[in-house]
Chain A
Amino acid sequence: MRPFLSQVRTELALTSRQGEQLLVSLGIPLLVLVFFSTVDVLPTGTDDPVDFLAPAVLALAVMSTAMVSLGIGTGFERHYGVLKRLGAAPLGRGRWVAAKVTTVLAVEVVQWVVLVAVAVALGWSPPATGWAAAVLGALLGTAAFAGLGLLMAGTLPGLATLAAANGLYLVLLLTGGMVVPLSELPGPVAAVSKALPAAPLAAVTTGALTAGGSVPPWAWISLTAWAVLAPLAAVLTFRWE
């Protein structure tokens, strides 16, 4: 337990010190939420844009932290030999993965608290009954996106991980129903998006946290498949050096 806690403490300290990671994990979701809630230019399909944007940026925050921050951070740790050095210490892969997951979840909790507080201040009032499904979706989404982030970090060079994670983030942000609803996208694009992990996660959070909304079955199926397959692919391909 002590090695695990020691690793978590270090991971949290290093995460809090990475300005660019905080920008991606908190800055961008906040900007999207505040800007598009006050400037009503998006075809959100709701009376008040915050009703769509608040649950959508909660999904975006999960993608930011689990895929982009984790992927880039781990990619550079691999690049600098940090993972190699840890491999010679009695920490073990299991506790290392557990520490990474704990750190991601801790950051996500902070993100959600801040985003929900800001959204409520902007007039959002989600149905209380939707939180269980939203949290379950976030956990599945964390597994899926962490798997993708580690898949990139464990196979690509450090800088390539940086580029790939940011590029994928931007594509999924635009096509994943996190800023623009899927219904506004061209049919084939929306169909492809449903098979990628971002749209199902956004469908879960928006479906669960919108009054009178519901989560379509395809979203649970697609998200669960990603939550299983992406970490599996990462485990099978991850290279420590």
Chain B
Amino acid sequence: MEVRDLVIRYGDLVAVDGVSFTAAVGEVTVVLGPNGAGKTSTVEHLEGYRRASSGRVRVLGLDPVADHRRLTRRVGVMLQSGGIPTAIRPLELLRQYAGFFPHPLDPEHLLDRVRLTQRARTPFRRLSGGEQQRLSLALALVGRPEVVFLDEPTSGVDLDGRDAVRTIVAELRADGVAVVLTTHDLDEAERTADHVVILDRGRVVADGPPEQLMRDAAGEDLLFRAPAGLDRDDLARVVGAPVEEVSPGEYRVGAAPDPATVAAVTAWLAEHDLPLGDLRAGRQRLDDVFRRLTAGEPSSGAASAATGRRANRARRRRGAAG
């Protein structure tokens, strides 16, 4: 699957602004980003729902909008929310969709895979949030797809449910399915991704395997947690490097994470009788990479999300929805 220079506009708002990435078969590609970053717009274009303003996109070699009908047999979709009648029963729903495909999975076996056998005859509206998400995931798999799009599959899912989702994603990957998953859950991305694409305000700000992103962005610094509002100037003088408070209580020291720097920081904290939490030198977590890449203008993200929703409503009124 290949996305090149994808642009999606809603009226004056540019939701996706020149996004390019590829997703390979047998790999889990995680599209990560804050709310309003353009994740869902991008995925909904790949699913054939949204028209692109420009760009060239190929899913299994086909155009997702123009060749939508041909792709529906080969692509599995899990919507971010909704899509299932409230009165339908899980087994009934899977049988319905199984009937649409030439070689579907066995609905009862599939229900067992998402651990819903006990709830086979419970109306959808009486399932818990996690059970509803798992059923929605099962629905994406029933036609034995070659590409699966999962939009926020773990939002509102409890820990057991997350494990079930992860297990299934791992199985799909092992079966050679291309999985494209959006999330704003960094932990989820770090655990499941072979390939991470980080979006922010409609642009790709990072693209690569998670280890590589963490290595690239590791840089020459040291991260630690301590009470908020430390005297950074004093610490910077002692360590001999700039100190930044990344978020309240989270600090970055702009010096090579060698033992001397670590010792200087811990000694300074000890001297001031301050607790130290979560000291990290060298390898960072995806969390840090993400936060650094999407930092700045925090309010504009929220504003563009709101504009996006307004534009959505305006677009619905005009009836241009795909």
Q: Which residues of A contact B95 (CB under 8 A)?
A: 6
Q: Which residues of A contact B117 (CB under 8 A)?
A: none
- Binary interface encoding of chain A residues 1-13 relative to chain B, with 1 for a CB under 8 A from any of its CBs, else 0: 0110111011001
Compute how far the CA of A241 lies from the CA of B80 in the bound complex, rounded to whole angstroms.
14
Q: Taking the complex as formed, is A90 at the interface, i.e. its CB lies under 8 A from any CB of chain B? A: yes
Chain A residue at minimum C-beta to C-beta distance from B125: A80
Check A2–B72 contact: CB distance below 8 A.
Answer: no
What is the number of residues of chain A that contact chain B, defined by CB distance less than 8 Å? Answer: 27
Check A10–B72 contact: CB distance below 8 A.
Answer: no
Check B100–A91 contact: CB distance below 8 A.
Answer: yes
Check B316–A89 contact: CB distance below 8 A.
Answer: no
Compute how far the CA of A81 lies from the CA of B78 in the bound complex, rounded to whole angstroms.
12
Check B99–A7 contact: CB distance below 8 A.
Answer: yes
How distant is B144 from chain A, measured CB to nearest CB, in Å? 12
Q: Taking the complex as formed, is B171 at the interface, i.e. its CB lies under 8 A from any CB of chain A? A: no
Q: Which residues of A contact B75 (CB under 8 A)?
A: 88
How distant is A86 from chain B, measured CB to nearest CB, in Å? 8
Q: List 27 A-B contacts (CB under 8 A).
A: A3-B99, A6-B95, A6-B99, A6-B100, A7-B99, A9-B96, A10-B88, A14-B87, A77-B85, A80-B83, A80-B85, A80-B86, A81-B82, A82-B85, A85-B82, A87-B48, A88-B47, A88-B49, A88-B77, A89-B72, A89-B143, A90-B69, A90-B73, A90-B101, A237-B319, A239-B319, A241-B49
- Binary interface encoding of chain A residues 63-103 relative to chain B, with 1 for a CB under 8 A from any of its CBs, else 0: 00000000000000100111011011111100000000000
Check A89–B84 contact: CB distance below 8 A.
Answer: no
Chain A interfacial positions (CB closer than 8 Å to B): 2-3, 5-7, 9-10, 13-14, 17-18, 77, 80-82, 84-85, 87-92, 237, 239-241
- Evaluate whether A10 and B47 lie within 8 angstroms (CB atoms) in the complex, with A89-B72, A91-B100 already known: no
Q: How large is the interface on B (under 10, 10 to 19, 20 to 34, 35 or more residues)?
A: 20 to 34
Chain B interfacial positions (CB closer than 8 Å to A): 47-49, 69, 72-73, 75, 77, 79, 81-88, 92-93, 95-101, 139, 143, 316, 319, 321
Compute how far the CA of A13 lies from the CA of B95 in the bound complex, rounded to whole angstroms.
12
- Evaluate whether A85 and B77 lie within 8 angstroms (CB atoms) in the complex, with A5-B99, A18-B87 already known: yes
Compute how far the CA of A91 lies from the CA of B49 in the bound complex, rounded to whole angstroms.
15
Check B316–A90 contact: CB distance below 8 A.
Answer: no
